[in-house]
Structure 1
Amino acid sequence: MVRRENRPVAPPRRADVGQFPRHPRAVLPSRAGVGPGPPRQARERRVERSACAANGGVVTRWILCNNAGVNGGGPIDETPLQVWRWVFSVNIEGQFTGVSTFLPRFKQRGRRAHIVNTASMAGIVPVIHVGAYASSKFASVGFSMVLRDELRGTGVGVSLLVPGTMATRINATAAKAEARLLGQDVKSGVVAANNAVLAQGADPDRVGAQVLEAMRERQFLIVTHRDFEPLVSRVHAEIERAFREFDGRHGPDAAARMLLEGRNPVSS
């Protein structure tokens, strides 16, 4: 989550993405932990208290970055339910908590705001042996797409970062947290091998600059590596082939027709 620093930046005067601050000192981060714990309302209060504490007791943020993420488990049939729930609580429930806490305030203020959710290429391309992580990131992609569509026509923009390999410490920190969760030792050999791959990844600071550019341009999908395009194309080709080869035995679908016409088939 990011807030305005009181001194160097005047507040935006119009709902223009170009009004986001450009100076690196224009934003100060505040952190709020997510994960297993109290019920939803208590978590939301904890998130808001953390945000207020970083801003003198007043929430004046216009950018929400849902960047929390952990990896854990292994092959699906070898992943403990405790680990599965932990991964989902951080990777997708954390995003929901951030959005449900701050989006009503963004709407109430009626000014330009932006939400950035971090997923992963593992949320578009299935990656084996990290089933909990990949499933949670697929959920993040769907969550962000729905959020984007629900906020069309408002002053609140949505971007989805789907990075490839990043030079971060997610592997080491998540491994330690998972070991504590299970009361086990850290698998140091696995951590070292994965760290060697991550060390070759993109620079997080440069990706951060890319995300800021995307917000200014109102860009939804943000990718970091072209190398994944053939893998994404393979996934899409399988889906499209299934539709082409299907014989249509069940007749037309009213819900699909309504969606194509821009109408919502689901009443709420």
Structure 2
Amino acid sequence: MEFIDRREFLARTGAAVAIGAVASQQGIAESAETPTEQAVGTLGPAGSYSHRAALQVNNQVKFYETMFAAADAVSSGEVQAAILPIENSIQGAVIDTLDILEDRDLYITAEVNVEIRHALMAQSPDFTKVASHPEALAQSSDYLSREYPNAEFHEVDSTSAGVELATTDGSVAAVAHPDLAEKNDLELLATDIQNVSNNVTRFIRLETEPATEGTKSTLLLYPGREPPALSSDVLDILRDADIDFTRFEARPSTKALGDYVFHADFEDGDPEAVIDAIEPAFDWVQYLGTYDLIMDCR
């Protein structure tokens, strides 16, 4: 058993698989004077929550149709970093980002917390459809089902993509940040419609090289294909290691039913010491980076 660096792991297994990576370069959010390589990539179009998070890191933002495409732009050197959502306080993990962490040779170098405020906007109250990102629709489901039980719900790639539809089609309302209503000449029909008031999304910055310091670290852990996924022996080792895990998330490995890869965050621990303590419990361990919370927009 051994600690496997991400680059070595990817080279051994050929795991760098592009999943749905269809890029759409919709331009730089701010001035184009800075070279594209210094920009950060994120899910567009302009005005999305991903865009709001990205602006906390860099005012040069390049938009992509998918999170996979934004991550691939980092790998190719097209942009310096990608800003992607990884976790929401209501809906939980963002699956696409977890898959990117497993399949791309990238490191987490920072995190940003962004408050999510959903509002309903349209050209008029006479709409029949509501368009938004699936997470936004789910997070506003109580209000929408109560106030508009007959409306059709349409999932799009981002909240701002829903706003674009609403600006061109009077039958469509959008769920997005309230600031986008005035910016797009839409009527603000309701504000703060999210199911839970304390709605926060955690975003991560991904780069090709790890940061040199930080207070939080992330690992990928694979216990092997023999059931159970977390045996008592594994749990004993994790307990005895005395690690303050702040997140422990399971994702199917895609190899077999009941076979999982675990995403684990921990704070205030030396990554090398932690890996040495827990690696006997796992077939392999991947280091995803050490980083700090650089902005908490709540």
Shorter chain as denominator, the TM-score bin is 0.3 to 0.5
> TM-score with structure 1 length normalisation?
0.33
Determine which structure has greater relative contact order: mean sequence separation of CA pairs < 8 Å that are 6+ residues apart, divided by chain length. 2
Greater share of strand:
2
Greater fraction of residues in helix: 1
